[in-house]
Chains A and B, each alone.
Chain A
Amino acid sequence: MLKTPETGTWRRTSPFAILFFIGRILRLIAKNAWQSLAPLFALLVTYQGDLVSKLILGASAFAIVVTVGSVLSYWFFRFQLLDDSILIRQGVIKKKQLDIKFDRIQGINTQQNIIYRYLGLVTVTFDTAGSAGSEGNLPAVTREFAGSLRTRISGNGAAEEADESADVPQSDALVHLGWRDMVRIGLADRRALLIFAVAGPLLERLEDDAERVIADAVAMAAGYGLEIDTSSGVWIGVSAVLILIVVLVLLSVAAAFLRFHDYQLFLDQRSLRSVGGLLTRHEHTMDLGKIQTLRLQQGIVQRWLGRFRMTARQAMSKGGAEAKKRYFDIPVVTAELADQLRRQLLAPEAGILTQDPRSNQFAAVSPYYMRSRILFVGVLPALLATTFFSLEIGLYGLSFLLWLPIVAAVAYRSWRRAGYLHDDNEIVRRSGLLGYRTVALLFRKVQRVSVTQSRYQRRKNLASLRMYMASGSVRIPYISHETAKQLRDYILYKVESSDKAWH
């Protein structure tokens, strides 16, 4: 088995990689091929003969195909370490060679399922910058091998002291999440709310059915001389809904346990590392230098719990689900812990500012931000709709005026939430509607900057500043034109006089 990364020879991973390939083939079938398997299955069932023995035959044939496929995939999977890259050759019928350059690798993530954990094996995933479809995996390599790869890659380009750092005793965890935090994650999970929203209409149907069942039960009970009145019937319905909610929340909490159980965050030298997960342990690393923005988010539930979610984002070439995988996630932190972490993550040049949205250090943006929204999104459309529809439907057209208070409330809330705060090296922007979101970035990592003025803003001598980062853009709306220009000139000065790498 592999102990140290030797260069220049082709080699295979551990035979336990077959497990990984079985998983991959099954996933592939589940995703693409189940439609074509269904007719086969139907054929098998309708063909004459004993059903049970046919099923056994079919299942074993399927198992054999999958196993042979996995063994072949394992056999044809080889990799080679070079001085500055890793080559991976794979594919049974269609051969593919991947060449992953070390300096393109943003981080090395590992996953360890429950079997691998007993064997001390991990599956390594290389996180490469902006090269879609060429993400590489190394299934079933030893933990030590993954560790040495990690030090090697973080050593590449940076200081050559990487070898020593491997001997440094492991630092204490900066964050360690317990079961209470799992409950918090589960409660705050937006998907739980989403399930509820989707299930909402379904619940109504269920309620109808439940009503009928209850009515029947009541009738039956009456027949037997039992006394169940309608109020207890309603009570049964309500408790059914409550039970459903509880089940959903429990599921969400269970998901949190699966993903984040025993979550620990470490800072080894200049790289951030997190480990967590109940069955499959996920280990993520990110170089501190690669952090483009630090984000602190708080939804309504999290606000009520007094907790935040922190994400560190790195350069990416596309948005969407693919980009989301690249966030370095710290699922629950308190505001104090978040600020403490920031000081370490953005040291030495920044991180002194607070990212706590409740802080009163934030400078507000101009109230015209609110006024322009009320005017252009609220008043004008509402008046237009009212006059237009009043001709058609008479006084009911006035109901369009109800749009106004909604827009006004939204505009007021988001104006109150909007704000910014900066020092010589760093800027923090705050935004939000129901919850809060603060984004922090280093001036010197800005890619380009623009100052925009609408006609309305020009009249009020205001402007919006947008800073484009390698991980997306951050906008500060409705600040005075003079401030925007000054910030822009200062950012350009910081970027152009910086000799540090932005990534």
Chain B
Amino acid sequence: MFQNPEIDLTLLPRAEDLEWQGLHAAFKKRLRVHMAIVIAIVAVAFAVPSFIPGVPIPVILSLWASLAIVTTLTMIWPALAVPRRGYAVRDKDIVFRKGILWRSVTAIPFNRIQHVETSSDPLDRKFDLATLQLFTAGGSGGDLKIDGLGKDVAEQLRAFILEKVGAIVENA
């Protein structure tokens, strides 16, 4: 029987009033450790001109001062950015939000997902974290990437999404 019910726009499920799931608590620390390693390498590189005689002192000072500023910012940044990130899994799609200055909310319907990938680099493994990547068709920009999930959570999400995608394929 053909049906064509009228849709009340105000009653459509809103991808807004959701219970956002935060990222893993260790993610902030992981980001900071990562940045600390990078900064340590830069600091070693900066140390070289500091010990060469003849390099003007203002130059050396400004080098270290800028490094200090960058260090402070990168240590503060995770505390601001990580709480802003979150995801919400609904019956038919997954919604991800992020951003401090540019805030964005991205939604991917399960019936458009081509494949799912989880990965963890050595630092992730140290903190028991994983990254979940969702791929849709088309070459338009990167697909949805959620990093800083607990390893178990990422696995669960992957299994759940694959099950959803599979169920859709079977029904079609």
Contact = CB atoms under 8 A, between A and B. Distances in A.
Given A448-B108, A489-B14, A492-B93, A458 B103 contact: yes
Please give me the 4 A-B residue pairs with the lowest Cβ-Cβ distance, nearest first: A470-B138, A450-B106, A470-B137, A452-B104
Contact of A448 (B14, B136, B171): B136
B100 to A, nearest CB: 9
A502 B138 CA distance: 12
B139 A317 contact: yes
B139 A316 contact: yes
Given A490-B9, A492-B93, A453 B172 contact: no
B14 A447 contact: no
Given A448-B107, A449-B106, A493 B139 contact: no
Interface of B: 7, 9, 12-16, 92-93, 99, 101-112, 136-141, 143-144, 171-172
Interface string A471-491: 111000000000001101110
Interface string A438-473: 000000001111111111001000000000111111
Nearest to A464: B104
Nearest to A485: B16
A contact face: mostly helix, strand, loop, or mixed = mixed
B12 A453 contact: no
B138 A468 contact: yes
A502 B112 contact: yes
Given A488-B15, A496-B92, A499-B172, A450 B138 contact: no
Given A450-B104, A493-B7, A469 B15 contact: no
A495 B112 contact: yes
Contacts of B110: 496
B138 A469 contact: yes
A452 B112 contact: no
A489 B12 contact: yes
Contacts of A458: 103
A448 B15 contact: no
A104 to B, nearest CB: 13
Contact of A472 (B102, B140, B171): B140
A447 B137 CA distance: 7
15 contacts: A292-B138, A315-B138, A317-B139, A448-B144, A450-B106, A450-B107, A452-B102, A470-B137, A485-B16, A486-B9, A489-B14, A489-B16, A490-B12, A492-B109, A503-B137
A318 interface: yes
A495 B90 CA distance: 14
B42 to A, nearest CB: 28
Contacts of A130: 139
